[in-house]
Amino acid sequence: MNRFSKYIVRLVFALSMSVISLLSFMYIAPEVDKKSKLEKKRDELDKEILLKKNQISKLIEMQQDFASDHEFVEFIGHQNRRVWKNEVIFVFDSE
């Protein structure tokens, strides 16, 4: 009977470890999946942020060109068909 009881104890121990392993896997697997989805979303948002920063820097550069570059203002006016040849767009104060 001693041999049989050792066998049963080992079997119960192995089954309990299997159940614990299965339960821990069932808990950890969704968390890992959730983490990978969050990392992917973070990377997408980082790309969008970088794109927006580039757009902002280009807009700032254009604003500075409008404030200082006479030829740029004339070029944009002609490009948008708001000004025709030999028309005066703005009179800039010379500094």
- Flag whether 57 is in a domain: yes
Q: What angle do CA 47, 48, 54 make, to 5 degrees?
A: 90
- Flag whether 90 is in a domain: no
DSSP character string of the chain:
-HHHHHHHHHHHHHHHHHHHHHHHHHHHHHHHHHHHHHHHHHHHHHHHHHHHHHHHHHHHHHHHHHHH-HHHHHHHHHHTTSS-TT-----PPP-
pLDDT category of residue 82 using cuts at 50, 70 and 90: confident
Q: Tens digits of per-residue pLDDT, 4-61?
A: 888 888 888 899 999 988 888 888 888 888 999 999 999 999 999 999 999 999 999 8
Q: How many domains does the chain have?
A: 1
Range of the domain at 29: 2-79
- Residue 29: predicted pLDDT: 84
- Flag whether 84 is in a domain: no
77 or 55: which leads in pLDDT: 55
* Nearest Cα residue to 73 out of 92, 59, 57: 92
